[in-house]
Structure 1
Amino acid sequence: MLPFAATRQLSDEQFRHVTGLLREHTGIALAPGKEMLVAGRLDRRVRELGLSGYGEYLALLGDGRDEIELHHMINLLTTNETFFFREPRHFEFLSRVIVPGRRPDRRFRMWSAASSTGEEAYTAAMVLAEALPSSPWEIFGSDISTRVVETARKALYPLAAAEKIPQQLLRRYCLRGREEYAGLLTICRELRERVQFHCVNLMEDFRRLGHFDVIFLRNVMIYFDLPTKRDLVDRMQDVLQPGGYLIIGSSESLNSIPSDLRMVEPSIYRLDRGAP
């Protein structure tokens, strides 16, 4: 029997099975070379279920019909790195360009389309609260992982997370935890009431979410192949308001992806279709 600290190795066939399910249901393509990463994240789950190895686990998953276990696998394999005011240039552009150019006769809507544990959405909420103090706005945060969506809804973060938040915003919109919440900070109720989080699979139809003035889709498409990126961008522009903005990660680009989105700055695109 393997000692508890030893991680079982995935065979090539088992790796293809797991990554095939991940790609089919999320669009995320893990290339060969990620075997140790996948094994490291799934091994504990195999042990929790009391299974003898990955063979039994894959038999449990089957072709994805066990939706509960499939979601558990997705939670384990999706990357959720984020922090407050990550890539601050995007939030500066939101305040300096996007908000002043909005239509003042309707509620301003933003979608944080891979919100992870919520830091991106709450950062944008601080920016909008400052830029639109007396105008209606709302933020919709989504992620495929049920685990990180629950964390985002709780809005509890270690005090170390405050290091990236400007002091005036930290004092205005964050609270230090006490007693059982010592060592944590939370976002004030005023902002939490304007931000909602839901599980959304970007591979599925998301038109039900309505239209947005700006969509943050940052550091997501690096995990997708080109056909998946093209399909996603096409569907993203369909839920943008005319003249709305799609903001992607600073290391990403829409080169070779045909669309009605025009780059106004690196990683920042404006929808030309129907724009004034």
Structure 2
Amino acid sequence: MITITDQEFLQFQRFIYETAGISMSPAKKALVSGRLAKRVQQCRLNNYGEYFRLLTSGNDAAEVQTAIDLLTTNETYFFREPKHFDQLREAACKLRRSGQTFRVWSAASSSGEEAYSIAMVLADTLGDAPWEVVGSDISTRVLARARTGHYPLERTTHIPPDYLKRYCLKGTGTQQGTLLIERSLRQRVQFLQVNLNGTLPQLGTFDVIFLRNVMIYFNGDTKQQVVARVLSLLKPNGCFFIGHSESLHGVTDQVQPVMPSVYRKTA
């Protein structure tokens, strides 16, 4: 086993902060070592320092993305924080007769469970009215998984039974023990790679934005910058959802609290 030195860990600390805005504490040293060990070996390098030099050489963008994928944590599940989806349903109902396309952004969608949960609520609430869901993440690995809409059955326990019947297909034969999001619903969800720590692509504006359980990885300055970028795409009076363990205190004055972890953008 190749061991990572303190100096090498500091290099990767700086790498993931400068690339993705993620602040890693010294307690993450073992995590960094474990997640990158196979790449060091597969690239036939002698130590983590050589791997860091490969990443910063500017000669292998694909390897940089692989390292980002490995170092970012992606934890999610369907219908996480059910009250947020009640609020989403309420917001969608208010615009149902406006004729405008109701747009929602899952800004850290990971492997897609949040984005598909949103899509199920909108399909149920809005029916034939126009709506769109955009899911984004910095990790190409989890985005590839999200686009398939294919999940182990044990990950779907929080999906309401009615939604399971209407929007999900249970695998049989070689796919037994899995579930596939129904095709027409998958087609309404677009997944894009977006680095929230940099200039955002042209995504348009949104009626609702989910930015949940992301800010916990940022320091104060990065948190302010990311929230400002994201809120610039939220329409006035739009809803903004964050994680229950997160706070916007001292981060922004662009929104007003509606309930814990739910905010509305001031007009």
TM range (shorter): over 0.9
Structure 1 residue 65, shift from structure 2 partner: 5.5
Query: Structure 2 matches for 1:8-157, cutoff 5 A?
Result: 8-62=2-56, 66-96=60-90, 98-102=91-95, 104-157=98-151
Taking a change above 3 Å as real, the CA distance of residues 53 and 257 of structure 1, as seen in their structure-2 partners, is same
Structure 1 residue 57, shift from structure 2 partner: 1.0
Aligned residues: 266
Cα RMSD of the aligned pairs, angstroms, is 1.4
Residue 265 in structure 1 maps to residue 267 in structure 2: no
Partner of 1:214: 208
Structure 2 portions without partners, runs of 5+:
none
* CA distance in 1 between partners of 2:208 and 2:187 (Å): 19
TM, length-normalised to structure 2: 0.96
Structure 1 residue 193, shift from structure 2 partner: 1.1
Residue 171 in structure 1 maps to residue 157 in structure 2: no
* CA distance in 1 between partners of 2:190 and 2:144 (Å): 11
Structure 1 residue 80, shift from structure 2 partner: 0.6
1:50 maps to amino acid? R
Query: Identity rate of aligned residues, in percent?
Result: 49
Give the match's secondary structure for 1:128.
helix
Taking a change above 3 Å as real, the CA distance of residues 207 and 41 of structure 1, as seen in their structure-2 partners, is closer
Structure 1 portions without partners, runs of 5+:
3-7
TM-superposition CA deviations, 1:53-102 (whole Å, max 9, x none): 21221221126663211111000010011111111111111113x11233
Are 1:176 and 1:185, in contact at CA under 8 Å, matched by a contact in 2? yes
Give the match's secondary structure for 1:34.
helix
Partner of 1:5: none
* CA distance in 2 between partners of 1:113 and 1:170 (Å): 24
Residue 242 in structure 1 maps to residue 239 in structure 2: no
Deviates more, 1:130-139 or 1:50-59: 50-59
Are 1:110 and 1:213, in contact at CA under 8 Å, matched by a contact in 2? yes
Are 1:156 and 1:185, in contact at CA under 8 Å, matched by a contact in 2? yes
Partner of 1:159: 153
Are 2:241 and 2:262, in contact at CA under 8 Å, matched by a contact in 1? yes
* CA distance in 2 between partners of 1:204 and 1:26 (Å): 8
Deviates more, 1:60-69 or 1:118-127: 60-69
Where in structure 1 do 4 or more consecutive aligned residues deviate above 6 Å?
A: none
Give the match's secondary structure for 1:208.
coil
Taking a change above 3 Å as real, the CA distance of residues 255 and 64 of structure 1, as seen in their structure-2 partners, is farther
Are 2:40 and 2:51, in contact at CA under 8 Å, matched by a contact in 1? yes
Structure 1 residue 259, shift from structure 2 partner: 2.3
Partner of 2:182: 188
TM, length-normalised to structure 1: 0.93
Are 1:213 and 1:240, in contact at CA under 8 Å, matched by a contact in 2? yes
Are 1:9 and 1:36, in contact at CA under 8 Å, matched by a contact in 2? no
Structure 1 residue 109, shift from structure 2 partner: 0.3
